[in-house]
Structure 1
Amino acid sequence: MAKYRHIHVEFWQDPKVLEEMTPEDKFFYLYLLSNPNTTQIGVYQITKKQMAFDLGYSTESISSLLERFINMHKLVKYNEKTREMAIIHWGKYNLNKAGKPVIDCVKKELSQVKDKTLLLEIMNHIPNESISNEFSRYVYDTSTIRGQKEKEKEKEKEKENNNINAVVFYQENFGVISPFLVQSIGVWEEDLSPEVVIEAMKRALAQNKRTWSYIEAILKNWNNLNLKTINDVQSHELRRKGGVTPEKPESYIDNLF
């Protein structure tokens, strides 16, 4: 099913756009409003690496643009840990009408937001009361807050249980590492996590595949499936029926070569 995002014509008459934004700012803002990761509620997950790839920019340029939009234009919020983007004025033009399909979609997408504080800014600009109430109900739901704290504790435990970084693990188990490979590992640690990168290396060792290309193939597959933590990887493998299991992770990787 095709997905569309509406850009209101008033965008081009907005004083902030006319007087404060450079041509590059306008291009970047249009991208933030209409890229494939956008959602109905205005909060979506996207990495700096993905933004750089889509726009043909360096990750440094993306970081600079994000800083301008967060601190100078004050139009977005970005959580570096969860890689979630929030478009502050999204609701003004995209959440002004409500029906059951819209409300159902809003509920579903709200439940997937990891950093609930990102929703607070958006709530102030939602003209439709029904949708605004759904935001408020989710943000101030104590059970949801409790669940989020539990997830944060799980992540902290993962970090405590793994006090060796991916570069050191590679050196100890695969051999000499080049500066380029150090950089590549760092990018994957940012997109996923050091624990997931190390897990991919362990999978490669288990299959006696001592190449970075094999490790990266595993990471690309997990990234495409939006598996960001060890728990995500294990849960996904258990859900697969008649396919990959934790005991046979190589079956979908070997097909790539």
Structure 2
Amino acid sequence: MAIFRKLHTAFWQDAKVIEELTPEDKFFFIYLLTNPATTQIGIYQITKKQMSFELGYSIESINSLMDRFENHHKLIKYNPYTREIALKNWGKYNLDRSGKPMLDCVKKELEEVSDISLIEYVSKGIKKEEIKDIFKSYLNKDNADDIEDLCKSKKLNDDTYNESYHDTFKDLGQEEEKDKEE
């Protein structure tokens, strides 16, 4: 967990920020860049419930913001199974220096990523070749082909809210089908 994250002042001059992001989008984006769950690699596990609690927004608002950032602005990718988020341009602004402690941290954090496609997503923006090579080495490892199989075989976090939420809806659908059959 990070103590601080840098936010470039160029953020406010970025054409996408100026022309496309609403004030609410800007606030949400700054949160995604600086919240306590962020990692050095720009891929981290966070639940929508956690975002909702920390920002004071409803789950519906978080769902709307996440959809907007993923599908309209194309600034993030979120895996609802692993509850991992990847920030598209993280590498461009934050993976710009190296050194043994930094490289060791990057390697350690890449080991913890469950959805390998998020590593590829972030790696596209990395300019520093030494760090980009580390990301590429994780893309070439033998990994699970199907993320759902990976999720089923591994306990990914302690978020019982989301687990029970999904399980409840599955059970309700099954109960309704059983009632119709009878």
Partner in structure 2 of residue 112 of structure 1: 112
Quote how far apart the aligned CAs of 1:155 are.
1.7
- 1:59 paired with 2:48, answer no
**Which amino acid in the other structure matches residue 152 of structure 2?**
K
Q: In structure 2, what is the Cα distance between the partners aligned to 1:153 and 1:13?
A: 40
Partner in structure 1 of residue 124 of structure 2: 124
Q: In structure 2, what is the Cα distance between the partners aligned to 1:157 and 1:32?
A: 26
Quote how far apart the aligned CAs of 1:100 are.
0.3
Judged with a 3 Å threshold, the aligned counterparts in structure 2 of structure 1 residues 124 and 186 are, in CA distance, closer, same or farther, namely closer
Q: Secondary structure at the match of 2:64?
A: helix
Give the conservation status (yes or no) of the 8 Å contact 2:2–2:36. no
**Which amino acid in the other structure matches residue 73 of structure 1?**
H
Which structure 1 segments of 5+ residues have no match?
A: 159-184, 195-257
Partner in structure 1 of residue 24 of structure 2: 24
Judged with a 3 Å threshold, the aligned counterparts in structure 2 of structure 1 residues 150 and 29 are, in CA distance, closer, same or farther, namely closer
Partner in structure 2 of residue 165 of structure 1: none
Give the conservation status (yes or no) of the 8 Å contact 2:78–2:85. yes
Partner in structure 2 of residue 206 of structure 1: none
Q: In structure 2, what is the Cα distance between the partners aligned to 1:124 and 1:44?
A: 17
Judged with a 3 Å threshold, the aligned counterparts in structure 2 of structure 1 residues 66 and 2 are, in CA distance, closer, same or farther, namely closer
Partner in structure 2 of residue 209 of structure 1: none
Quote how far apart the aligned CAs of 1:3 are.
1.4
Structure 2 counterpart of 1:189, from 156, 164, 173: 164
Higher RCO (C-alpha 8 Å, min separation 6): 2
How many aligned residue pairs are there? 164
Q: 1:9-20 alignment to 2 at 5 Å?
A: 9-20=9-20
The root-mean-square deviation of aligned C-alpha atoms, in Å, is 2.6
Map Cα deviations across residues 182-218 of structure 1 (whole Å, 9 max, x no partner): xxx864524xx74xxxxxxxxxxxxxxxxxxxxxxxx
Q: 1:128-167 alignment to 2 at 5 Å?
A: 128-142=128-142, 145-146=143-144, 152=149, 155=152
Partner in structure 2 of residue 8 of structure 1: 8
Q: In structure 1, what is the Cα distance between the partners aligned to 2:133 and 2:154?
A: 35
- 1:86 paired with 2:83, answer no
Judged with a 3 Å threshold, the aligned counterparts in structure 2 of structure 1 residues 128 and 64 are, in CA distance, closer, same or farther, namely same
Q: Secondary structure at the match of 1:86?
A: strand
Q: Secondary structure at the match of 1:28?
A: helix
Moved over 4 A (4+): 148-151, 185-188
Judged with a 3 Å threshold, the aligned counterparts in structure 2 of structure 1 residues 2 and 58 are, in CA distance, closer, same or farther, namely closer
Judged with a 3 Å threshold, the aligned counterparts in structure 2 of structure 1 residues 22 and 112 are, in CA distance, closer, same or farther, namely same
Normalising by structure 2, what TM-score?
Answer: 0.82
Q: In structure 2, what is the Cα distance between the partners aligned to 1:15 and 1:151?
A: 37
Q: In structure 2, what is the Cα distance between the partners aligned to 1:125 and 1:75?
A: 11
**Which amino acid in the other structure matches residue 152 of structure 1?**
D
Judged with a 3 Å threshold, the aligned counterparts in structure 2 of structure 1 residues 154 and 48 are, in CA distance, closer, same or farther, namely closer
**Which amino acid in the other structure matches residue 126 of structure 2?**
I
Quote how far apart the aligned CAs of 1:152 are.
2.5
